[in-house]
Amino acid sequence: MKIIYYCFIIFCFIIIPSEGFSQKVIASFEDEKDLLNIKTTSGVEVSRSTEFPALSAHSCNIVFPEKGGNLDIVNLNITDWNREEALLLFIWTNEAAKISLIIKDSLNHAFTRQYSLKKGANHLQLPLSDLGKIDKARINSIGIQIEKN
């Protein structure tokens, strides 16, 4: 099986508050325990890395197989996003790729937005006003999906 290494290194997920408070980090992968909150489909490999950290010394390295796959961050430390303005994602990839960002709430509502990533560093910002039916007081997962080429 040919493996295409979409070596995403997810630097971190950060929420920007709508008022003058500091940013809130959802996952920086500085702590090994952050990996326990990641669920993947078969063939997706996840590990901590010291390459391309956004905050301190670590990031998360994700390798998707050729057929694609999903990664979900669950057990979020911040589930009520009502006072927040945007979600920031810092992603580095070794080749251009298309991803879907999927946000779900505990009422089984899902929001999906597609992004085209360029090779190298990518800074994505999702205004939370775009979430539609999502209950921002009950966010329970953030996911990334790669489709088969």
| Whether the predicted pLDDT of 3 surpasses 50 | no
Mean pLDDT computed over 44-54? 80
The rounded distance, in Å, linking the Cα atoms of 36 and 135 is 25
Could you tell me the two tokens for 91? Answer: 């992603």
Per-residue pLDDT band for 33 (boundaries 50, 70, 90) equals: confident
Quote the pLDDT of residue 139. Answer: 94
Residue whose pair of structure tokens reads 């927040």 in the numeric block:
84
Of 106, 89, 114, 71, nearest to 26 by C-alpha is: 89
Band of residue 13 on the pLDDT scale cut at 50, 70, 90: low
- What's the whole-number mean pLDDT along residues 51-60? 74
Angle at 135 between CA 33 and CA 70, to 5 degrees: 45
Is the per-residue pLDDT at 50 higher than 90? no
Residue 40 has what pLDDT? 94
What value does the mean pLDDT of the chain take?
Answer: 81
